Amino acid sequence: MTDATAVDSASNGEPNQKRTREDNVDEENGVSKKQKVEAEEKRSNGEDEEEKKKPSGPVKLGFKNFASSVEMFDYFYNLLHTWPPNLNLNKYEHTMLLELLKKGHAEGDDKIGGGIRVFQVRKHPMWKSRCFFLIREDESVDDFSFRKCVDHIVPLPEEMQVKADANKALGGGKRHHGRKGGSKH
C-alpha cells in the first residue's frame, strides 16, 4: 500500500485526509498547541543536555580504569562482600579505597584527617551490614559509603543511587529529641 492510498481504520475505510485547522479549538488562553509542544520539547531537551553533561566513563581510579559507574560500583561491592571482616586490606585495595575517598567523598579531607593507617570491612553497629571502615593514624575509626563516593565520581543509574530518606526510614539520620510520642535514645 502506498501513502496516497493509506486507509485510516478510525475513518471507516475512508482515505486519510488532513483536517482543516480550527483556530478556536487549537488555541487555549492565546497559546497554540504547537507553541506548547515546542516549549515542552525545549524543556525536555534541556534536561537531556544536563544528563549528557554527567560523565558516564571511562574513569581512572587508583590502578584501574572503569568503563562505567556500574563497573566501579561492582568492583567495590565485590571487595566489600568478599574481604574477611576485621582484617586490614592489602596495599593495592588500600590505594583504591583512598583514591575513592579523595575523589568521591563530599568531605574526603575530613574523613582522611591526619592520614589513614588501614581500611577494614566491618559489620556496621547500627545498620548490621558490611561496611568499609577506615582507621586513621591517630587510631580514630570512621565508616564511609562507597556507593555515595562512586555516585559522586560517576553518577549511578537512578535505581542504584542512595535515597535521601533511606537512613531516616531505617531509623538513622539526625535524632529529634523532644518529639512527641518518640523515644529518646
Q: Show me where the domains of the chain are located.
A: 59-161
Check if the beta carbon of residue 82 is closer than 8 Å to that of residue 105. no
Model pLDDT, residue 161 = 85
Q: Residue 16, SS3?
A: coil
Phi-psi region of 173 (alpha: psi -120 to 50; beta: other; left: phi over 0): left
Q: 0.95 cut: is pTM over it?
A: no
CATH of domain 59-161: 3.10.450.40
Closest by alpha carbon to 149, among 73, 87, 53, 95?
Answer: 73
User: What does the pLDDT profile of the chain (185 residues) look like in tens digits?
Assistant: 444 444 444 445 555 555 555 544 445 455 555 555 454 444 444 444 344 335 566 899 999 999 999 999 999 999 999 999 999 999 999 999 999 999 999 999 999 999 999 999 999 999 899 999 999 999 999 999 999 999 999 999 999 987 765 554 444 444 333 333 443 33
